[in-house]
Structure 1
Amino acid sequence: MAIKPTIYKLRIAISDLNREFYDSVQLTVALHPSENLERMMARIVAYCLNVQENISFTKGLSQVDEPDIWVKTLDDQISLWIDMGEPAPDRVKKSSRLAPEVKVYSFNSKSDTWWEQSKVKVQPFTHVKFYQFDWQQIKNLATYAQRNMDWSLSISGDTVYLATETGDCELLIKELV
């Protein structure tokens, strides 16, 4: 019998000063059995950074042909493809053909090495943007994970400020160029 995902529920008040977006969202997020808390928390932050109409989590790790997060148009076209981690250049190429806008959020301890090895191969894809979360900050954020969470999240410049019931933290977002 397969191991089932762990379900997390979040209520997030988002204040995105960069996009002048102010709203609250309720999310139900599945932690895949092979996924760690750090990756799940990075996915949630990436979702909040890009929240808009028709954004949704996909089957992600369970479906290799899908991104972690996408935005689909009413006619079922992918308008935004979001991958987490360090995708292979072939995956970046494929996603750039499937969506007019692609974002990759790298977040773990091997991000710098991955970027140095991959940047020459992926830079020709001009509508793909690469971002990096600081690994220590993501690890800190993961310590606040609970099955039911209330967050207040503010985005200003390249910084995400997050207040939870159990503590506060700050995440820096570095654009990789």
Structure 2
Amino acid sequence: MALKATVFKAQLSLSDMDRHLYQDFSLTLARHPSETDERMMIRLAAFAWHAAERLEFTKGLSADDEPELWLKNYSDEIELWVELGQPDEKRLKKACNRSRQVVLYLYGGRGTSVWWKQNQGKLSQHDNLSIIELSDSQTLPLTAMVERTMQLTCTVSDGQLWVSNGQLEVTLDPILLMGKPAREL
């Protein structure tokens, strides 16, 4: 018998100073049985950085041909494709061919520098790909905020993201390895 996804609800109050976007979002996240709390919270952070009316979570780990988040236009064309982790270079190439803009949030501790060294040359060929590294010293504390129902306040300013649940506050300071900063996408 296959394990089912666990459903989480998040009320996200967003103040994005970089894009002058101030909005509340009611989000539902299905966490795949193999997904960690850290990865799920990075998905939420990526949503906050790119928040838009048509931005949505996909089937993620449950579908090989979908990203974690995507933004489609009214013609059903993919405007933004958001990946997480250390995907295969071929997957990113396919994403770049299918989408106007692709953003990879690279995380995973020391393994990220090895992954980056192995893939940097091939990935630099894609003009529509941005790679942003997140330090595990910043992403791991997000796991202390995980609850089945979350009330989160997110503030984006100068590319940094502050996440608070009223008791804890975590700052994510992304490092741009390649492409455009998240706030310019």
TM bin (shorter chain): over 0.9
2:138 is aligned to: 137
Displacement of 1:123: 0.5
CA RMSD of aligned residues (A): 1.0
Q: Which amino acid in the other structure matches residue 127 of structure 2?
A: T
Q: Structure 1 stretch 1-10 or stretch 107-116: which is displaced more?
A: 107-116
Displacement of 1:159: 1.4
CA distance in 2, matches of 1:174, 1:23: 25
Q: Report if aligned partners of 1:158, 1:174 keep a CA contact under 8 Å in 2.
A: no
2:49 is aligned to: 49
CA distance in 1, matches of 2:114, 2:16: 30
CA distance in 2, matches of 1:19, 1:71: 17
CA distance in 2, matches of 1:50, 1:116: 27
Displacement of 1:155: 0.6
TM-score, normalised to structure 1's length?
0.96
1:115 aligns with 2:116: yes
2:94 is aligned to: 94
The number of equivalent residue pairs is 177
Say which SS state the counterpart of residue 86 (structure 1) adopts: coil
Extract unaligned runs of 5+ from structure 1: none
Q: What are the Cα deviations for residues 120-146 of structure 1, in whole angstroms up to 9, with x where unaligned?
A: 110110111011111121111111111
CA distance in 2, matches of 1:163, 1:89: 34
1:58 aligns with 2:58: yes
Q: Report if aligned partners of 2:154, 2:163 keep a CA contact under 8 Å in 1.
A: yes
Say which SS state the counterpart of residue 143 (structure 1) adopts: helix
2:175 is aligned to: 174
Runs of 4+ in 1 over 6 A off after TM superposition: none
CA distance in 1, matches of 2:70, 2:159: 22
Q: What are the Cα deviations for residues 89-128 of structure 1, in whole angstroms up to 9, with x where unaligned?
A: 1111111110011111112112122112111110110111
1:69 aligns with 2:69: yes
Q: Which amino acid in the other structure matches residue 24 of structure 2?
A: S
Extract unaligned runs of 5+ from structure 2: 179-185
Displacement of 1:165: 3.2
Question: What is the aligned-residue identity percentage?
Answer: 32
Say which SS state the counterpart of residue 74 (structure 2) adopts: coil
CA distance in 2, matches of 1:23, 1:96: 29
Say which SS state the counterpart of residue 145 (structure 2) adopts: coil
